[in-house]
Structure 1
Amino acid sequence: MRRAFVAAGGVLAAFLSVPHAQLRVVPLDEMGGHVALGLALRHLSNAGIFLHTTAHPDDENNALLVLLNRGQGYRTALATATRGNGGQNEIGPELFEALGVLRTKELDALHRFDGAEQYFTRAVDFGFSFSVEETFEKWGKDEIVADYVRLIRMIRPDVVVALPPGGAGGGQHHQASALITREAVKLAGDAAKFPDQIKAGLRPWQPKKLYYLAAFGFPGEQLPQGPLARINVSVYDPLLGKTSAEIGTEARSMHKCQGMAQLLSLPAPMTTIYQLVESTIPGQMQKDETSLFEGVDTTIAGLARFAGARPPRDLTGGLAVMSAAVLTAQKNFDTIGDQATVKPLLDGLYALRVLRRELRTMSIDEGARYDTDFRLRQKEREFQQALLVANGVQLEALADDGVVVPGQTTAVSVVVANRGAADVTVKNIKFEGFDGDAACALTAVTRPDFGAFGGGRGRGAAPQGAAGQAQATSTLKKDQVVRCDPTVKIPSGARVSEPYWHRAGDAGRYTFDADAPFGLPFRPTTFYVQATLVFGAGPGAEEVLDTVPVHHRYEGNIFTGEKRTELLPPPPFAAHRRRPVRGRRVRLRDPFVPTQPHPDRRPPPPLPRRRAPSAKCASLSSTTCPMPSKRQSSLPCRRDGRRRRRSSR
């Protein structure tokens, strides 16, 4: 007994001595409730737009992106010239174009922390570059300038920041991207430059400020002379419980294939420094700054500036009502609670929609009308998102299968939950990307859904009424959940899931598919569900749209938990097998082999033929076989008479 007790104590001591490991990062996009609503309100009160340009994945200033987006509510975008396919891979075998896809996904992952939108140009990371001239030659300078002009006209930023244009360290892609950014900022506001973009529907846009990063941070670097913008990114955020610098290191740790540090930042002061090199604001370049947006009006009321010095009264009045509603929502959030923000958010959404209708007939310049409505569209999306979070509304769309082929049918479960005090009516559920119009008859969910036993949709708990019958409903009260489970069909012409950028040989510039949205990380999924929800009742009711992609969920290993993927139509494959041989078991090749093999791929070696059994073994009736050597030992023979091989250790 004493021995058993001592052994048990030793096992316990060994267990307690093992370091406790726990995942310490949670993407802010996964936050819900109070934190998510606070972030949404910050965006509602800010109409400013920020663009950060870099050369490769990992060149971005993650702490700055967190500060501007999560901390201050700016819309932020990152335009990375290349996808980093010329680098190395610390975590797997992917190189070249496959590595570019991997690094694109890693940027997607880190933006769940910093909130930025991601865009790319057609430039290829062709490896270390020794000169700006070499980079311009291989990329095609004019073509990449055109790409950046296009992105500026699409995003319409007030402030742009770029990498330093000088120095000899780090490879010259960085300096080339900075010089191209500056040229693009100067050209984007000229309608005579790149007129094909104007014909396609884009409009000229002139950013108000362009900054260069003052230094990379390499040892011995000197700061440039003159006024600088010093941005403190270590200010504590009480809503998030961390500083922007600390969250920035969490985002940066997603650059896994580049071997980025996984140890997170500890509390410490941190400042990032930029130099203003272009500005349309008089006198601004002669000032030291503590904000990149000094001198830029980014309030909701400030949108009236697009209409000139004397904007229409209807415009200023509508913007004032919107602004007051946002301020009331923020005050109620700070002093009362989340649910108290629903009413002012509905008021603000109503005022915004009235203003957008009136804007069409206001006596203002067409360019002013476009830019005002461009920002108002963004605010409408943000109002709707804030309302969904404030009332705890959740929409899920889960399919039985993740890899789908044209003509296939699959079941999709749509789940709508309302955890807020206000009633929510589901007016319509629309399935996009599928053949036909699937009917979604919502029924109440009255028992738990144990997803662990139900596969991709969590089918372990079909909705049941009190007596085992489905209860149809469309208005959700507090803590009520409804769902529908229609069967949908993948269209015969479903596009294959593959990159939309293509490289010919060792070209220094990609070709983009003409029908793909320019510069996005990947082509957006065509399979999604849109729910039209009604908040409130009577004259004060407002419709809110919530759109989510259709996902398939599945389990990874026991350590990684639930995983999700969009629906992925694969390329066509064919199965091949050898001709059956009488009396022998048929050996199948790999179950899926491309119908058109790659022209550079060598054919697989032929399968080895069976060798005839040795004469010595075939003549023996015993189960042993003498070794064909001087050693006096034997090995068992196989039943077919061939000698067994001695196993090596």
Structure 2
Amino acid sequence: MRYLLGFVTCSLLVLGTLKAQTPKNSSATDIYHAIEKLNFLGTALFIAAHPDDENTRLIAYLANNVKARTAYLSLTRGDGGQNLIGPELRELLGVLRTQELLAARRVDGGEQFFSRANDFGYSKQPGETLEIWNKEAILGDVVRTIRTFKPDVIINRFDHRTPGTTHGHHTSSAMLSFEAFDLANDANAYPEQLKMTDIWQPKRLFFNTSWWFYGSQEKFKAADKTNLLHMDVGTYYPMLGKSNNEIASLASSQHLCQGFGRLSTRGSEDEYIELLKGDLPKDKSNLFDGIDTTWKRVDGGEQIGDILYKVQENFNFKDPTVHIPELLKAYNLLQGISDVHWKELKTEELTTIIFAISGLHLEAFTQTAYTNPGQEVEVNVQALNRSDIDIKLKSVFINDQKVAIDNEALKNNNLVTKKVDLNIPSSTDYTSPYWLIEKGTLGTYKVSNTDLIGKPETPRAFNAKFLVNINSTLIPITRPVVYKYAKPDKGEIYQPFEIVPEA
């Protein structure tokens, strides 16, 4: 179903996704950091109610120090708040804040999820909130996120035991998380989800507490801390040239419309989390203590780990290309494991590392910002190998349309460019936030396509699918079709390629 608001919101989508569209250039340090994360098989999910509720210090610490795959599930998109930087309110504000959360995650290293809950404004009690939200629907969204993301540990930002002491949305987010922790592993709960994912049981559930929740620092000092874990999240990363607190401050400062720009902080920073469910770690500074986060947790993964741990241990910062043969060996072994979740996740990470090491640049771009359904637009496809590695571009498709490339050799630093006239089917939907396509209720967005529930954005309509042959190993990778242009006062700019109604 098409939605005319898509035309109105295009400008907001463009403003928020410029950096997301720009190709990332990775240094040897970035690549090494990615290999460290590749070799940590542990996952953490942070849950709260609104944009700006997330603890960027803890998310940055888990993503960059622990190396865990880390995400923030914000139950709402912040439609009910105020706007410091523009006139957008309600739905348009939610679109804006969605992009600000994605910008924050690009800084702190986390991922982003949402439920269908609508921020309808301030609520005093969780009972009122859950009634307006439709508790069963939003609880199902939390269960769905846990089942698909498969976290080992879940961290609530708020306390489920203190209704009426804070915003009803806040308490509700914790209550839903507490209930979903066990429901995610119950095949009788939301069985329709099991067509697309499996049941999952997280190992531990925590509450990210602090002295504030105790009323004063004095009360917190006197409190029983038996079930509390303590971490100093103010660590400094020499390879990144930043401290964890500096990264967290930069991430929080992406919340522009909420006025969250703040000074960077440095030095030690205590963070406390209280165990709510699961076993208490023996090492009270490590959320993952006792959980296997090595390649051994995957059937057939030990052989892959033997290769990748050696690459990490002996990483060549001056010439990372020497690791390509071993990385390709690990890639081929990875394709043979039976665990679909880890196979897909680690294949994507490893592909990104291999392409970064080779300096392989692949993109597909138009010279027009938008077009209409039923039209035709010229797309430029470019491929560049910036190494001496044997790389061939076997094929390129934009959706189902083939580009005139057939096993073309990519010689070092020789740019290959092809043009294709892309047909835009008349049935193509307009670019629009998927959660606004249909009219929802006061408390809940309506999303008929259940595959989209939880995603931060609507997937791009047109993507270039490259099939690359590196040293006789075929590796697929997908890039969105983007709009690329230059402005005299800005230089090169990337932004999304949009499908809009005719004016």
- Contact 1:49/1:159 (CA < 8 Å) preserved in 2? yes
| Letter paired with 1:554 | Y
**Alignment-mate amino acid for residue 390 of structure 2:** D
Distance 1:185 1:194 in 2: 14
Query: Is 1:569 paired with 2:503?
Result: no
Q: Does 1:108 align with 2:72?
A: no
Give the conservation status (yes or no) of the 8 Å contact 1:230–1:289: yes
> 1:216, 1:127 → 2: CA distance?
27
Work out whether residues 33 and 392 of structure 1, in 8 Å CA contact, stay in contact via their aligned partners in 2: no
Partner of 1:247: 247
Whole-Å separation in 1 of the counterparts to 2:314 and 2:383? 26
Q: Does 1:524 align with 2:459?
A: yes
What is aligned with 2:393?
Answer: 426
1:374 to 341, 351, 368: 341
**Alignment RMSD:** 2.4
Checking the alignment, whether the CA contact within 8 Å between 1:394 and 1:417 is kept in structure 2 is yes
8 A contact 1:326–1:345 mirrored in 2: yes
Q: Flag the 1:505–1:552 CA change in 2: closer, same or farther, 3 A.
A: closer
Equivalent residues in 2 for 1:280-291 (5 A)?
281=279, 284=280, 287=282, 289-291=284-286
Deviation at 1:202, TM superposition (A): 2.5
Conserved 8 A contact 1:29-1:115? no
Which residue number corresponds to residue 114 of structure 2?
A: 120
Alignment match, 1:162: 156
- The aligned amino acid for 2:100 is E
Residue in 1 aligned with 2:173?
177
Q: 1:515 to 1:381 in 2, by over 3 A?
A: same
Structure 1 residue 477: Cα displacement: 2.7
Q: Which residue of 1 aligns with 2:85?
A: 91
Distance 2:50 2:228 in 1: 25
Q: Hey, what does 1:478 align to over in structure 2?
A: 412
How far apart are 1:351 and its partner, in Å? 1.8
Residue 212 of structure 1: aligned partner: 207
Cα distance in 2, alignment partners of residues 267 and 48 from structure 1:
27
1:66-97 CA distance string (max 9 Å, x none): 22223333222211100100000000000011
| Structure 1 position 133 matched with structure 2 position 127 | yes
Return the letter of the residue paired with 1:273: Y
- In the alignment, the residues of structure 1 paired with residue 171 and residue 294 of structure 2 have an alpha-carbon distance, to the nearest angstrom, of 34
Superimposed CA distance per residue, residues 141-171 of structure 1 (whole angstroms, 9 cap, x where no aligned partner): 2221111111111111111111222555552
Distance 1:269 1:412, change over 3 A: same
Instruction: Note the C-alpha offset of 1:65.
Output: 1.8
Alignment partner of 1:514 is 2:449: yes
Amino acid at match of 1:478: N
Structure-1 residue corresponding to 2:141 = 147
- CA distance in structure 2 between the aligned counterparts of 1:504 and 1:408, rounded to whole angstroms: 28
Q: Determine whether 1:403 maps to 2:385.
A: no
Matched, 1:321 2:303: yes
- 1:426 counterpart letter in structure 2: L
Where does residue 257 of structure 1 map in the other structure?
257
Is the contact between residue 68 and residue 74 of structure 1 (CA under 8 Å) also seen in structure 2?
yes
Q: 2:72 aligns with which of 52, 60, 78?
A: 78
Give the whole-Å Cα distance in 2 for the aligned partners of 1:334 and 1:191. 47
Distance 1:334 1:277, change over 3 A: farther
Structure number with higher relative contact order (C-alpha < 8 Å, ≥ 6 residues apart)? 2
The residue type equivalent to 2:298 in the other structure is L
Where structure 1 has 5 or more consecutive residues not aligned to the other structure, the ranges are 1-25, 305-314, 360-371, 443-472, 574-649
Residue 417 of structure 1 pairs with residue 372 of structure 2: no
- Per-residue deviation at 1:289? 1.0
| Whole-angstrom distance in 1 between the partners of 2:203 and 2:170 | 23
Partner Cα distance (2:92, 2:368) in 1: 25
* Offset from partner CA, 1:527-566 (integer Å, 9 cap, x none): 1111111111xxxx211222110100234682x5443222
SS in 2 for 1:427: strand
Match status 1:274 vs 2:269: no
Task: Specify which of 334, 344, 351 is matched with residue 333 of structure 2.
Answer: 351
Residue 29 of structure 1: how far off its partner (Å): 8.4
Structure showing greater radius of gyration is 1
Instruction: Rate the CA distance shift 1:112–1:505 in 2: closer, same or farther, 3 A.
Output: closer
Distance 1:516 1:335 in 2: 41
Q: Tell me the amino acid that sits aligned with residue 416 of structure 1.
A: A
SS at structure 2 position matched to 1:290: coil
Contact 1:423 1:478 in 2 (8 A): no
Q: Residues 175 and 236 from structure 1, CA distance in 2 versus in 1: closer, same or farther, beyond 3 angstroms? A: same
State the number of aligned residues.
476
SS of match in other structure, 2:370: coil
* Match in the other structure for 1:630: none
The partner residue of 1:388 within 344, 355, 362 is 355
Residue type at the aligned position of 1:500? Y
8 Å contact 1:416–1:482 — kept in the other structure?
Answer: yes
Is the contact between residue 501 and residue 510 of structure 1 (CA under 8 Å) also seen in structure 2? yes
Q: 1:249 and 1:30 mapped to 2: Cα distance?
A: 22
The 3 A distance-change label for structure 1 pair 383 and 64 is same
Counterpart Cα distance in 2 of 1:399 and 1:326:
38
* Counterpart AA for 1:188: A
Distance 1:139 1:60 in 2: 20
Would you say the 8 A contact 2:396–2:405 is kept in 1? Answer: no
Q: How far, CA to CA, are the matches of 1:481 and 1:233 in structure 2?
A: 44
Find the residue that maps to 1:36 and give its secondary structure.
Answer: helix
Q: What SS does the aligned partner of 1:333 have? A: coil
Q: Structure 2 regions of 5+ residues with no counterpart?
A: 1-18
Name the CA distance, whole Å, in 1 between partners of 2:497 and 2:356. Answer: 26
1:62 aligned to 2:29? Answer: no
- Opposite residue 499 of structure 2, the aligned amino acid is P
Residue 542 of structure 1: which of 460, 473, 483 is its match?
473
Which residue is 1:231 aligned to? 231
Compared with structure 1, are the counterparts of its residues 561 and 91 closer, same or farther at alpha carbon in structure 2 (3 Å cutoff)? farther
- Alignment partners' CA distance in 2, 1:128 and 1:557: 45
Task: Say if 1:29 and 1:113, in contact at 8 Å, map to a contact too.
Answer: no
- 1:191 paired to 2:187: yes
What corresponds to 2:16 in structure 1? none
Aligned to 1:604: none
Cα distance in structure 1, aligned partners of 2:116 and 2:326: 44
SS across alignment from 2:314: helix
Cα shift at 1:288? 5.9
The answer to whether 1:437 aligns with 2:431 is no
TM-score, length of structure 1 as denominator length: 0.69
| 1:324 aligned partner, one-letter code | D
SS in 2 for 1:480: coil
